[in-house]
């Protein structure tokens, strides 16, 4: 495929696979730097989904006709591909969900509502995305369990000394993100897993920003649960992965009930299907699952070590360029090796939304807002920030265009 170049990836070659990157707005070529929200989709993934609908669209696990068999095999094998990508033992440990948010809710409802009660503690961090923070906060309210937060230090890291004090024998669940979507920080999730397990607690890792950007092995981390979203890693919207240790998924109650997740039903009783189907009620995400597996195969061709190196290189370049300006405040670690390829910042005197609108006029797409981390923004003392987030097809030239567009905004608001 030629997507790699000696010790790096070939971004220029990769760009050719993404038709959307050719778009122009008023003659300006799109510079897409909002990959932390959603990445773009290569022809290979678009073609795989199109091929599914053109040639073998049918419901899975229900029909014995040829189309249904072909769709079932493709959908099941998609689980194997995604499971292998993150080091899970097989399809039994890989549930397809709608996204990371649904994976959090699945564990919170199926495990949390049944297992937690007054006196129990759930430990989160101050940099959690609302997907985890709001979910566990509400489960805490419903069960009487307390929620505690590992503080974030001034320079954007988790305070691990505080984590050691906060995780105790009362802790039942630690839910932390692997990579922060606001600060870019890469958190020591293995260390946190050890801490959780030392106290007989489980750990749920939110890998929404990690799986797209670096090699992830759920067994090395020793995560009990690990979640991620297809649409942030070249896949379609509407599909994500939830890894769970097989014994836990076996023991837990189902999340949703209905067809597809049962083995035997009578008027009085129901028994559950094998893993992972026990957690996939109703007609599942068939076309999306096929596209998700194709996206994973694309990333495997690129090589996840190469993706990580590229992300660090772009983050380092963006941090260096932004450091040229006294009026740009950057959030998160200053060392590119400790962060992923995203940079949240504010330009003094200009609201992040205004800045993003000005950048949009130059066809530079970045995100502005609280990035679903309102409590973290409160802690940073700002209501919003602008965020540029990079991926495998971005180049340093595009970061130069971002810097030029910020310069234009500065002059406009001077
Ligand atoms: N963040 C962003 O930062 P969903 O929407 O379920 O696919 O992913 C939720 C989610 C969970 N955890 C982290 C660390 C995330 O970054 C996200 C999604 C997007 O722009 C949207 S807020």
What is the tens place of the pLDDT at every residue in 244-295?
A: 999 999 999 999 999 999 999 999 999 999 999 999 999 999 999 999 999 9
Bridge partners, 185 (sequence order):
339
Q: Is the CB of 125 under 6 A from ligand 1?
A: no
The one catalytic residue in 139, 166, 319, 372 is: 372
Q: Which atom of ligand 1 is nearest to the CA of 178?
A: 14
372 is catalytic: yes
Place of tokens 């502005």: 368
Q: Nearest-CA neighbor of 218 among 194, 245, 250, 249?
A: 245
Can you name the residues that pair with 34 across neighbouring β-strands? 389
User: Based on the domain organization, do 178 and 246 belong to the same domain?
Assistant: yes
* Residue 212 and residue 350 in one domain: no
Atom 13 of ligand 1: nearest residue by CA position: 208
**Chain segment 46-58, per-residue pLDDT in tens:** 999 999 999 999 9
Asked whether residue 263 falls in the same domain as residue 336, the answer is no
- Provide the domain limits for residue 250: 47-300
Distance set, CA 268 to CA 264, 265, 271, 393 (Å): 11, 8, 11, 55
> In CATH, what number is assigned to the domain containing residue 115?
3.40.640.10
Note the pLDDT tens digit of each residue in 202-257: 999 999 999 999 999 999 999 999 999 999 999 999 999 999 999 999 999 999 99
Structural domain count, the chain: 2
pLDDT of the residue at 61: 84
- Where residue 94 falls among pLDDT bands split at 50, 70, 90? very high
pLDDT one-digit tens code per residue, 143-169: 999 999 999 999 999 999 999 999 999
What pLDDT shows up at residue 8?
Answer: 82
Contact 261, 283 (CB under 8 A): no
Residue 335 shares a structural domain with residue 346? yes
Residues 27 and 63 reside in one and the same domain: no
Angle between the N-to-C axes of helices 100-107 and 130-143, in degrees from 0 to 180, rounded to the nearest 10? 20
The pLDDT tens digits for 352-365 are 999 999 999 999 99
pLDDT interval class at 414 (50, 70, 90): confident
Per the domain annotation, does 37 fall within a domain?
A: no
Task: Check whether residue 296 and residue 312 sit in a common domain.
Answer: no
Are residue 294 and residue 189 in the same domain, yes or no?
A: yes
Average pLDDT over residues 305-324: 96
Length reported for the chain? 414
């Amino acid at each position: 495929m030629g997507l790699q170049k000696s010790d790096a990836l070939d971004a220029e070659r990769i760009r050719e696979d993404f038709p959307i990157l050719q778009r122009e707005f008023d003659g300006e070529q799109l510079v897409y730097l909002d990959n932390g929200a959603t990445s773009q989709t290569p022809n290979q993934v678009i073609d795989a989904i199109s091929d599914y609908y053109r040639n073998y669209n049918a419901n899975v696990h229900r029909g014995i006709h040829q189309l249904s068999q072909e769709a079932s095999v493709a959908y099941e094998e998609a689980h194997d591909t995604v499971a292998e990508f993150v080091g899970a033992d097989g399809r039994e440990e890989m549930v397809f969900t709608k996204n990371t948010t649904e994976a959090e809710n699945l564990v919170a409802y199926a495990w949390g509502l049944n297992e937690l009660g007054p006196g129990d503690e759930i430990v989160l961090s101050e940099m959690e995305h609302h997907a985890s923070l709001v979910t566990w906060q509400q489960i805490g309210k419903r069960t009487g369990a307390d929620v505690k937060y590992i503080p974030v230090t001034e320079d954007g890291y988790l305070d691990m000394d505080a984590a050691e004090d906060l995780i105790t024998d009362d802790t039942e669940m630690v839910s932390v993100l692997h990579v922060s979507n606001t600060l870019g920080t890469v958190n020591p999730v293995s260390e946190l897993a050890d801490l959780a397990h030392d106290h007989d607690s489980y750990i749920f890792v939110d890998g929404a920003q990690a799986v797209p950007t670096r090699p992830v092995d759920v067994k090395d981390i020793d995560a009990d649960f690990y979640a991620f979203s297809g649409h942030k890693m070249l896949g379609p919207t509407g599909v994500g992965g939830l890894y769970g240790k097989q014994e836990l998924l076996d023991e837990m109650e189902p999340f949703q009930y209905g067809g597809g997740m049962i083995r035997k039903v009578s008027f009085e009783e129901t028994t559950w299907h094998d893993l992972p189907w026990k957690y996939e009620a109703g007609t599942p995400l068939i076309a999306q699952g096929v596209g998700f597996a194709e996206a994973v195969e694309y990333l495997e061709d690129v090589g996840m070590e190469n993706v990580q190196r590229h992300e660090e290189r772009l983050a380092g370049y963006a941090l260096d360029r932004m450091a040229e300006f006294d009026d740009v405040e950057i959030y998160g670690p200053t060392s590119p090796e400790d962060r992923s390829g995203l940079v949240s910042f504010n330009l003094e005197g200009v609201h992040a939304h205004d800045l993003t609108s000005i950048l949009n006029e130059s066809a530079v797409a970045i995100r502005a807002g609280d990035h679903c981390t309102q409590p973290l923004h409160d802690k940073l003392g700002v209501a919003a920030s602008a965020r540029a987030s990079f991926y495998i097809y971005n180049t340093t030239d595009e970061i130069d265009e971002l810097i030029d567009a910020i310069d234009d905004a500065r002059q406009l608001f001077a």
